[in-house]
Amino acid sequence: MPARRHLREMFLQPACQALPSLAFGAFLAAGLAALAGPAAAQTGEKPTLTVYTYDSFSADWGPGPQLKSAFEATCGCTLDFVGLEDGVAILNRLKLEGPSTKADVALGLTTDLIPEAKATGMFTESGVDTSDLTVPTGFSDPVFVPYDYSYLAFVYDTETVKNPPKSLDELVSGDPSQKIVIEDPRTSTPGLSFLLWMKAVYGEEAADKWKQLNRRILTVTPGWSEAYGLFTKGEVPMVLSYTTSPAYHEIEEKTDRYQAAAFAEGQYLQIEVAGILKGSQHQALARKFLSFLVSKQAQEVLPTTNWTLPVRDDVDLPEAFSNLVKVDKPLLIDAETVAKNRRAWTDEWLQAVGAR
């Protein structure tokens, strides 16, 4: 039936004109080249420092590329970032690979993961002087070097939320018809941190407060991307994110529509750390890289690429950062306690929100 053929061409051909060649010609050449690509990475006698990190750190828009060129200018080495999904994925990758891992440095674990990371026995003392760093709660560790931090916060849309909650209590007891989205503590880092936040503020009462808060929760997403996607799509007016989120919108999108709510009880703290692998062939180089990571030069890159706060107070921050929520009371449950109770607390949460 010619008419049908006509129609198909009308609708599909214009968009597809370039495709037959793209699909069949370029597929063989470029597709296979792309498949074979990663093999040819090693070059010359220059040592290569391999750093496992999360992919938004190593992405084009992340701090990775700038740090790479700055460090390579002085180190006489090649810096190779391997971007994985997130901190948990980095640790899992190391566990899967064991002592023979290619990684020299693991960058991007949160402090919660430290006990688990140390239990692998794969990390060695960093030897990096961290005495001049300013990390809230004064965190310091012989093995893991803190290189940036951020505070959890509920980010709201100023066009729909006129009276943002001023405390966790106001959030919990607020209008149930005004919905929020949070992340799942079983599958995501911010989700777990919020669970700890509730625990840090409410202790034994946490379960009851969760029951109360549950009426406001529209849904619980597997990760940050889904939650933030729902938020920017306008599906919910408030989402669990970070105090630095508004800075992104202000600097990259020139809008102050999205703001973070400051809570009277304080904000929960996430400190990101990096550590050197015991099996690394480039211990000195790895140490040099971690020292560089906390230097003024590198710290100046992080805020507007990783959207986190620097661990030095001599770093000049862009204007947008001065509008962010000022946190007087950083909240942090120590990692050992978290490791011991994570399972029980997750169960308590599941029970409170009616899942078991």
> Of residues 174-193, which lie at the interface with another protein (CB under 8 A)?
179, 184, 186-187
Stretch that binds another protein, among 195-203, 216-224, 279-287, 324-332 (CB under 8 A): 216-224
Closer Cβ to another protein, 126 or 305, answer by number: 305
Task: Say which residues have a Cβ less than 8 Å from residue 36's Cβ, sequence separation at least 6.
Answer: none
Please give the Cα distance from 333 to 173 (Å, whole number). Answer: 24
Task: Give the DSSP letter of residue 311.
Answer: S
| Distance, first Cα to last Cα, the chain | 59
* Region 290-309 residues binding another protein, contact defined as CB under 8 A: 307
Please give the Cα distance from 121 to 206 (Å, whole number). Answer: 34
Smallest separation (angstroms) from another protein to the CB of 39: 4
Task: Report how many residues bind another protein under the rule CB under 8 A.
Answer: 83
Of the candidates 66, 54, 185, the residue with the CA atom closest to the CA atom of residue 108:
54
Please give the Cα distance from 9 to 17 (Å, whole number). Answer: 10
* Region 62-121 residues binding another protein, contact defined as CB under 8 A: 62, 81-85, 88-89, 92-93, 95-97, 100
Instruction: Give the residue, chosen from 69, 74, 140, 225, that forms a contact with another protein under the rule CB under 8 A.
Output: 225
Instruction: Give the residue, chosen from 228, 268, 289, 292, that forms a contact with another protein under the rule CB under 8 A.
Output: 228
Smallest separation (angstroms) from another protein to the CB of 235: 5
The answer to whether the CB of 115 falls within 8 A of the CB of 336 is yes
- DSSP percent split of the chain into helix, strand, coil, nearest 5: 50, 20, 35
Smallest separation (angstroms) from another protein to the CB of 5: 5
The answer to whether the CB of 225 falls within 8 A of the CB of 235 is no
Q: Which two tokens stand for residue 309?
A: 């706060």
Q: Write the interaction track for another protein spanning residues 24-63; mark x where CB under 8 A is met and - where it is not.
A: x-xx--xxx-xx-xxx-x-------------xx-xxxxx-
Smallest separation (angstroms) from another protein to the CB of 264: 27
Residue entry with tokens 């703001």: 259
Closer Cβ to another protein, 75 or 82, answer by number: 82
Closer Cβ to another protein, 61 or 166, answer by number: 61
Smallest separation (angstroms) from another protein to the CB of 220: 5
